[in-house]
Amino acid sequence: MTTLRSFSYGGGVQSTAALVLAAQGLIDFPLFLFSNVGDDSERKATLRYVEEYSRPFAAEHGIDLVTVHRVMQRTGESRTLWEDLTREGSKSLKIPVRMSNGAPGTRSCTADYKIAVIGRELKRRGATALHPATIGIGISVDEIHRANNRRCEPHEKIVYPLLDLGLRRIDCARVIREAGLPVPPKSACFFCPFHRPETWHDMRRDEPEEFAKACELEELLNRRRDELGKDHVWLTRFNKPLREAIPDGVDLLPMFDESDGNCDSGWCMT
């Protein structure tokens, strides 16, 4: 039986470099699965890049780039992460909001909207515990600490082809440019609490509608927290509303352009 080989595609620099490497025959992944957490949740810049560049490039080189979504097993309805967070009566805190002490809270967004969705698709395509699929994750050498941070499911074998090739993020950008493609923006949900302060600053300047929606989400979550008598939560580590934490028109000092955290499993933001 032929082993199913798939790459978990996030639409960012590392996984786009993997797409180029697969097209060049340097790594063996004929299938790339993009778990879209929702057109209302993913950054618009990422969705544009996938449709304008990644999908045509994959088709040109005989690679299947397939988009999958979360489907509620009980009802069969498709649900986005934004819908999950904002639906009437929801008490969901699936994203790693910052608690009053600045530390990220627990989250299930990656497990529910990335790992489980791709896992179901792999099993639909024949992956089993006896014949697990090989699934590639786009972690580069400069993010090696993100590798091996979760156990494999019985139907999968996780590999890190960029680590095997010794590629850093800067190398991935070079691979993309040399293939004639623009380097994609960093991929993530636009309201992800793991954004760097500089990312929030750029979003407020360049993508004000997404920034405003992120502020509205934070406000909604805190209205619900008030009703429950709980402390407020935030989308940054600064223990204040996003609108105040990232002031309009103020350049951030370089010292603030540091990681606010990351998705340790490696399934997001690559």
* pLDDT at position 81: 95
* pLDDT at position 72: 81
DSSP code at position 145:
G
* pLDDT at position 22: 98
Check: CATH 3.40.50.620 for 5-256?
Answer: yes
Percent of the chain with pLDDT over 70: 90
Query: What is the pTM (predicted TM-score) of this model?
Result: 0.89
* pLDDT at position 153: 81
Encode pLDDT of 176-189 as tens digits: 999 999 999 989 99
* pLDDT at position 74: 77
- In three state form, how does the secondary structure of 229-247 look? CCCCCECCCCCCCHHHHCC
**Residue 134 backbone dihedrals phi, psi, to 5 degrees:** -90, 120
Angle, alpha carbons 67-70-73 (nearest 5°): 135
Look at residue 67 and tell me whether its pLDDT is greater than 90: yes
